[in-house]
Amino acid sequence: MTLSIRGSCAAVGLLVLCGARAVAGPHAGGIVLAHLNPAIEYTSSVSSYQGMSGLEECKKAIVEGRVDAERAQVWFVLASFENSRGPVNLGGAGFGFGDYDGSRLQFSGFGPCNDGFLELPSNGWPGPREGTALVFQDPRRRDVEELYWFASYAYGIVTVPLAPAPHFPSSQFASRDTPPVEDEAEDFGSIGFGTPGYNPCGQVSARGACCLFSRCAQMTRDECEGRGGRYLGDNTACFPDPCAEEQIQTTWGTLKKIYE
């Protein structure tokens, strides 16, 4: 069932996306990101690509496709709650697209990843500055959840930014509670064709050897320099000890930071 509406929560009645706002609900810290699965060969005979993103960790998302006017590429919009308070108890979600050059991207197929339960798209969806909202019949509880799939031809270099749904701009996630608890997405990603997109999940910060006076410890550059240490580079080791002979002139305040 698909409905096309514009308006406020009042127009949606008792759906989960019209719940009560909390200062920080279970999905606070969640993000909306894109991911392209290059292993999928698109065919119009497949009615839905739900469950085929293959993404289990948001940091592994592929956010760049190729410029290709001959073959459609299949990509997904997902929600990641790997940094949220939890527990994940997702009853509804919304997202949209920011502005992009619609003449460079043509959709040959698209659909929600909610088992066909209920979708509330804006009138021009999918398209620039349009959006959609999904309701799930059964709550979703995974740290990374598929929201939508797309198959598109790219006729030129283009970046498609993800954004809040324009008809539900105040929240992107709603819990399956009574009443539902809403949370805004912390960040939105993008997908690029012929150019890199943006993954808001980011990568795990590299660690390396840090000399804190004559002591060596493994930490990130920011952690090391924040404690007044000398960072020896990403992936460097503390054995054999590179800091044993090092002596640093410092203040008592800096010394206290090391052991805080």
- Please choose, from the candidates 50, 78, 24, 92, the residue with its C-alpha nearest in 3D space to the C-alpha of residue 189: 78
Tell me how far apart the alpha carbons of residues 128 and 223 are, in angstroms, rounded to a whole number.
41
Between 194 and 236, residue with greater pLDDT: 194
- 62-117: per-residue pLDDT in tens? 999 999 999 999 999 999 999 888 899 999 999 999 999 999 999 999 999 999 99
Structure-token pair, residue 6: 């514009």
Spell out the residues 6+ positions from residue 31 whose beta carbon is closer than 8 angstroms to its own.
58, 79, 80, 83, 185, 186, 187, 188, 189, 200, 201
- 13-61: per-residue pLDDT in tens? 334 555 444 457 899 999 999 999 999 999 999 999 999 999 999 999 9
CA of residue 58 relative to chain centroid, distance: 7
* Residue 227 CA neighbour count, 13 Å, CB half: 22
Instruction: Summarize the confidence of residues 219-226 as an average pLDDT.
Output: 82
Spell out the residues 6+ positions from residue 29 whose beta carbon is closer than 8 angstroms to its own.
81, 83, 84, 85, 186
Q: Are 204 and 58 in contact (CB under 8 A)?
A: no
Radius of gyration for the chain, computed over Cα atoms and rounded to the nearest angstrom: 23
Structure-token pair, residue 79: 């929600």
Tell me how far apart the alpha carbons of residues 78 and 32 are, in angstroms, rounded to a whole number.
6
**pLDDT reported for residue 5:** 36
pLDDT range class, residue 260, cuts 50, 70, 90: low
Model's pTM, two decimal places? 0.73
Q: Are strands 131-140 and 144-154 parallel, antiparallel or unpaired?
A: unpaired
Tell me how far apart the alpha carbons of residues 88 and 185 are, in angstroms, rounded to a whole number.
14
Domains of the chain, by residue range, sit at 9-193, 207-258
H or E element in which residue 174 lies = strand 173-175
Residue whose pair of structure tokens reads 């998302």 in the numeric block: 61
pLDDT surpasses 60 at 244 = yes
Residue 16 DSSP label: G
Tell me how far apart the alpha carbons of residues 127 and 184 are, in angstroms, rounded to a whole number.
22
For 9-193, the fitting CATH number among 3.30.2080.10, 2.60.40.680, 3.30.70.1150, 1.20.1260.10 is 2.60.40.680
- Please choose, from the candidates 122, 149, 119, the residue with its C-alpha nearest in 3D space to the C-alpha of residue 47: 149
- 181-212: per-residue pLDDT in tens? 999 999 999 999 999 999 999 655 567 888 98
